[in-house]
Amino acid sequence: MEVRLADLAEFDIPNFDNDAIYRSEAYHELHALTAQSTGLVLCSPVYNWGCSAELKKYIEYVGSTPPDGSRSGALFDKVVTFVNSGGLPHSYTAFRELATALMLDFKCVVNPYHLYAHNHHWQGEVLDGGVVERAEKTLGVMTELCELLEGRSYSSTWEI
């Protein structure tokens, strides 16, 4: 699979306003990258028992449809895998509200294997072997889901 990294810190993403964002270079670049993808690995630290505001901002940004209808949200029908990090072992389900929203709003297929690592998984600068094995399995399942769904017969849009 071809993989592209989009680090949101490298984009000047204005706050969502349902108008000016559609004229921004960041919107056009991120929308195109997202729309062209079969799957997304969404990475976020855990803050206050949820994914970061920047990740939510990205989803709102590329998932929206301009008022003139010139393009559709870029998130429809994507295979989504979550990777999260946190300080405590019990934050491993922090992505679930965002996963539910992606499934219901954009008909995304959420990988049932996600990756969560917390501070006890690090030994210096290296992740322990169990996390590496889980990462390999998680990304292997994502690859298989993307391959299986690439030729799907349907295409989703806003249906409510």
pLDDT in tens, 20-57: 889 999 999 999 999 999 999 999 999 888 999 999 99
Asked if pLDDT for residue 75 goes beyond 90, the answer is yes
Q: Residue 130: inside a domain, yes or no?
A: yes
Q: Residue 2: inside a domain, yes or no?
A: no
Q: Residue 140: inside a domain, yes or no?
A: yes
Banded model confidence at residue 90, pLDDT cuts 50, 70, 90? confident
What is the per-residue pLDDT for 87?
81
Parallel/antiparallel/unpaired status of strands 126-127 and 115-118: unpaired
Phi and psi torsions of 16, nearest 5° = -65, 130
Parallel/antiparallel/unpaired status of strands 39-47 and 50-51: antiparallel
> Do residues 79 and 39 lie in contact, with contact meaning Cβ atoms separated by under 8 Å?
yes
**Mean local confidence (pLDDT), 55-79:** 91
**Mean local confidence (pLDDT), 78-83:** 97
Q: Residue 137: inside a domain, yes or no?
A: yes
Please tell me whether the overall predicted TM-score, pTM, comes out greater than 0.85 for this model.
yes
Parallel/antiparallel/unpaired status of strands 39-47 and 122-123: unpaired
Range of the domain at 15: 8-149
Q: Residue 144: inside a domain, yes or no?
A: yes
Give the Cα-Cα-Cα angle 50, 56, 61 (nearest 5 degrees).
175
Q: Residue 55: inside a domain, yes or no?
A: yes
Burial of 141 (C-beta count, 10 Å sphere; 0-12/13-18/19+): middle
Question: Tens digit of pLDDT for each residue in 122-136?
Answer: 888 888 878 899 999
Q: Residue 22: inside a domain, yes or no?
A: yes
CATH code of residue 26:
3.40.50.360
Distance CA 85, CA 124 (A): 16
3-state secondary structure of 120: helix
Q: Residue 13: inside a domain, yes or no?
A: yes
For the chain, the average pLDDT equals 91
Structural domains counted in the chain: 1
Sign of CA pseudo-dihedral 105, 107, 113, 117: negative
